[in-house]
Amino acid sequence: MSPSPSQDPGQLQPRATGPLRRVRKHILRLLGLLCVWGLVHLAVVCIDGCTDEARAADVAVVLGNHVSNAGEPSRRLQLRLDRAHALWLAGLVPRIIVSGGQDPGSPHEAEVMKQYLVARGVPADRIVEDRGGINTHATARFVAGWLRARGERSAIAVSQYYHVTRTKLALRRFGVDATGAHADLELELREPWSLLREVVGFYAYLFKDYDHGGSDRAP
């Protein structure tokens, strides 16, 4: 006896693929929502990072970046240092913390940053070196402890616009009254990657565990 049309195995295929279509539809909707959320967050990062609050603080904090083997700060680091220098000239900060790490074979970022500022007229005793600033979290921890030891609590985070929001978040999570000042805008080929990294990094820092005891590296 031949199978009836209702028993044709080929007719079972739509029933099998129906749930798969629904799963694919949900996945596409989720991806769409994530894309929209990412674009909104990018807009917030750009607007917030480019919105400087022109108010005085106890210190400006310059986040480190690459320096050459010859001891020359990268262009983006120069822009950060120039912004901190402008804040100091305007009388908005009495001191500047330069925070960075060290690449193999090159001078320490904090040392090069200090030399750059001193060459432009900032007194050496107005500059604090943090040689343990290997990342934004480590810098924020040092700054919080350094300020707390002096009964102070406000800082201006100085970096490229896309980095300001995450830096302020880290400082605030350590109890610092943080505002931001972005370096002069110079677009780079790596700009899209830098922006994407900051979106991911923001949530990594948002849910990070913070030790509010301050920094044992603070003098």
* Domain spanning 49-206: CATH 3.50.50.60: no
Least confident of 15-29, 76-90, 151-165: 15-29
Instruction: Give CA separation, 213 vs 133, 144, 172, 217, in Å.
Output: 17, 9, 14, 12
* Cα–Cα distance, 191 to 198 (Å, whole number): 11
CA angle 114, 192, 80 (to 5 degrees): 15
What's residue 200's pLDDT? Answer: 82
What's residue 51's pLDDT? Answer: 87
What's residue 44's pLDDT? Answer: 77
What's residue 87's pLDDT? Answer: 97
Which carries the bigger pLDDT value, residue 186 or residue 125? 125
pLDDT over threshold 70, residue 1:
no
For residues 167 and 68, the answer to whether their CB atoms sit within 8 Å is: no
% the chain with pLDDT above 70 = 85
Which carries the bigger pLDDT value, residue 162 or residue 37? 162
What's residue 169's pLDDT? Answer: 94
pLDDT over threshold 80, residue 190:
no
Boundaries of every domain in the chain: 49-206
Interacting residues of 141 by C-beta distance below 8 A, sequence separation 6+ = 174, 211, 214, 215, 217
Over residues 191-198, the mean pLDDT reads: 80
Over residues 42-59, the mean pLDDT reads: 85
Over residues 185-210, the mean pLDDT reads: 80
Look up residue 62 and give its DSSP letter.
E
Confidence band for 218, pLDDT divided at 50, 70 and 90: very low
Average pLDDT of the residues of the chain: 85
Which carries the bigger pLDDT value, residue 118 or residue 16? 118
* Cα–Cα distance, 205 to 3 (Å, whole number): 63
Least confident of 5-14, 73-82, 161-170, 182-191: 5-14
112 CB neighbour count, 10 Å cutoff: 25
Q: What pLDDT digit, counting tens, does each position of 65-121 carry? A: 999 999 999 999 999 999 999 999 999 999 999 999 998 888 999 999 999 999 999
Confidence band for 9, pLDDT divided at 50, 70 and 90: low
| pTM, entire model | 0.80
